[in-house]
Amino acid sequence: MQLKPLFTFLTALTKNNDRSWFQERKATYDQLRKQFEEDAEFWFQELKQLDPTIAGPEGRKSIFRIYRDVRFSNNKDPYKTHFSSYFTASGKDIETPGYYVQIGPNGNTLIGGGLYMPEKNQLAAIRQEIDYNADQLKAIIAAPDFQRHFGGMGGEKLKKSPAAYSVDHPEIELLKHKSFIASHQMTDAEVLSHQDFRTHVVEVFRAMVPFSHFLRGALEA
């Protein structure tokens, strides 16, 4: 898609986040959304080649709505100020390891994935897999392409060791994680000057495939 018009629209939306402004420019949004759907379909088809477990949904259905759920938020702005899409093996399920792309101005562009704040049983399963196969995860994280794009594994961590593991466990720092995230942040200048952003997303996803497989394998064991 054409990124400069998208950034122009989203920058203006950030300053005018209300329904009347948005409705007056709905045609512009619809055109930008259609372009993003085409990119999402491209990423979906490429991901199916990189990670055959990615079964759906098709690209356009992987896209998140621009409308915010404000019911439980102090921020009552009705619209998100980015476009985003999430690809997993079981549809657009945020509770499943997957691949995420978000595009937005003011440093809000990122490519990544993993599993954010897994529920209790999922967290226990991943920690058990780390306990059993930490060398595999460390090799994935240390791989040159993973380091180049992500710099390491991110995600919130406990301050103390998990209850099921000793404080002197050799992999305690990995076991402290509450989320397991790979995140490739991009500045606005990097996004807007990129010669082929769409293909760049695929290359970042490629570096994340073993990481996704590790997490998915832990949950399916």
The 10s digit of each residue's pLDDT in 67-112 is 999 888 888 999 999 999 999 877 656 778 999 999 999 999 999 9
Supply the DSSP string of 21-88, one letter for each residue. HHHHTHHHHHHHHHHHHHHHHHHHHHHHHH-TT--B--GGGGBPPSB---TT-S---SB-SSEEEEEE
125 pLDDT higher than 80: yes
Domain containing residue 16: 3-220
142: domain CATH number is 3.30.930.20
Average pLDDT over residues 108-128: 96
DSSP helix/strand/coil, 51: coil
Q: How far apart are CA 96 and CA 38, in angstroms?
A: 24
Q: Which amino acid is at 119?
A: E
Tally the domains of the chain. Answer: 1
pTM of the model: 0.94
Per-chain mean pLDDT for the chain: 94
Buried b (16+ CB within 10 A) or exposed e, 167-183: eebebeebbbbebbbbb
Of residues 101, 114, 178, the one with CA closest to residue 146: 114
| 184 close to 111: Cβ distance less than 8 angstroms | yes
Res. 221 pLDDT band, cuts 50 70 90: confident
- Per-residue pLDDT at 22: 98
Structure tokens at 175: 């076991």
Q: How far apart are CA 68 and CA 86, in angstroms?
A: 16
Res. 56 pLDDT band, cuts 50 70 90: low
- Decide which of 138 and 74 is more confident: 138
